[in-house]
């Protein structure tokens, strides 16, 4: 229990230990702790940000979906409209085609009539001449009257 040099020795030892702790032990430990604290808070912030972004993305996706649905129904409406237009057009086309065919047929019929009439005319002339020949067998000069009859046939 005597007070002696141990007192001073202990003070010096204490000072050296404190200095060593201050210089070599404390800073790396505290730095590691601070660094981890920072990393954790950054991680938490990132997680929160991620969650927020996910919410935004979900909202955006829902919007996109809604828009797509709207567009789809619009497209369907347009397609229906277009389809009915096409049907109308086809109807018009068919009608005009039918008209054209009718006109063509009528023209052909007319032509056929003309041809038949021409044919008849010639036959009438031949028949008339043959008839006249039979009637006027002897008195009539076929050549002399043929002209007259032809002129007559012309008037038909």
**To 5 degrees, how large is the angle CA 112–CA 115–CA 116?**
85
Interacting residues of 19 by C-beta distance below 8 A, sequence separation 6+: none
Choice between 13 and 54, CB closer to another protein: 13
Instruction: Tell me how far apart the alpha carbons of residues 8 and 21 are, in angstroms, rounded to a whole number.
Output: 20
Query: What span, in angstroms and rounded, lies between the C-alpha atoms of 81 and 87?
Result: 10
Instruction: Report, in angstroms and rounded to the nearest whole number, the Rg of the chain calculated over CA atoms.
Output: 60
Minimum CB–partner distance for residue 73 and another protein (Å):
55
Residues 16 to 55: which contact another protein by CB under 8 A? 17-18, 20-22, 24-33, 35-36, 38-39
Least Å from the CB of residue 40 to another protein = 9
**At which residue do the structure tokens 């000069």 appear?**
141
- Residue from 14, 54, 62, 77 that binds another protein (CB under 8 A)? 14
Which lies closer to another protein via its Cβ, residue 33 or residue 109? 33
2: phi then psi, degrees, rounded to nearest 5:
-80, 140
> Does 9 sit near another protein (CB under 8 A)?
yes
Cβ at position 45, least distance to another protein in Å: 16
Stretch of 14-22, 92-100, 121-129, 136-144 lying at the interface with another protein (CB under 8 A): 14-22
Question: Which residue, 9 or 131, is less far from another protein as judged by CB?
Answer: 9
CA distance 156 to 146: 16
Residues that bind another protein (CB under 8 A): 1-11, 13-15, 17-18, 20-22, 24-33, 35-36, 38-39
């Amino acid at each position: 229990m005597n007070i002696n040099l141990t007192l001073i020795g202990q003070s010096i030892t204490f000072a050296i230990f404190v200095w060593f702790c201050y210089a070599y032990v404390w800073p790396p430990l505290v730095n590691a702790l601070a660094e981890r604290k920072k990393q954790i808070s950054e991680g938490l912030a990132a997680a929160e940000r991620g969650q927020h972004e996910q919410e935004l993305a979900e909202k955006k996706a829902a919007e996109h979906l809604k828009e797509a649905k709207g567009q789809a129904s619009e497209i369907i409406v347009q397609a229906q409209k277009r389809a009915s237009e096409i049907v109308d057009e086809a109807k018009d086309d068919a009608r005009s085609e039918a008209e054209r065919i009718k006109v063509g047929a009528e023209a052909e019929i007319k032509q056929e009539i003309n041809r038949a009439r021409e044919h008849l005319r010639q036959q009438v002339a031949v028949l008339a001449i043959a008839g006249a020949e039979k009637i006027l067998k002897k008195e009539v000069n076929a050549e002399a009257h043929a002209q007259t009859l032809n002129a007559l046939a012309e008037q038909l």
